[in-house]
Amino acid sequence: QVQLQESGPGLVKPSETLSLTCTVSGVSISDNISWNWIRQPPGKGLEWIGYIFHSGSFRYYPPLKSRVTMSVDTSKSQFTLNLRSVTAADTAVYYCARWRDTINAFEVWGQGTMVTVSS
C-alpha cells in the first residue's frame, strides 16, 4: 500500500524558506513517475506547485518557479520542497502526491501539513 507523509515546520517567518519533506512508503521512489507538491490556502482551492522525478528532472508552476526548488533523496525514499522568500500568501496546507501517468491523475496523496507564515 502506497503511503506518503509530509513533515516539516508548521510556522515559518516571512522572507525565510519553507522546507517540507515527503516520505514515501510501499513503493520505490525510483519508479519512473513524478512526485508532486500541491497546496491549498485556508478555505480556498488547490494549486499545483510542481513535480520532480527520481532522476532529478522537474517542472515547476511558472508563477512560483523563481522561488521553488525540489529534490529527491532515493536512499531515504524522500522528496523535498523548498520555497524561498515566503509571505503570508504562502500560508496553506501543503500536500505531496504521486502522479500516475497512465491515468493522468494524482492517485495517492499525503494527509497534508499546515504551514503558517507569520512573524
Report the interface residues with other proteins, using CB under 8 A. 45-48, 59, 61-62, 95, 103-107, 109-112
Q: How far is the CB of 60 from other proteins (least distance, A)?
A: 8
Name 60's bridge partners. Answer: 50
Q: How far is the CB of 72 from other proteins (least distance, A)?
A: 19
User: CA–CA distance from 10 to each of 24, 53, 80, 119 (Å)?
Assistant: 20, 26, 15, 12
Q: How far is the CB of 75 from other proteins (least distance, A)?
A: 26
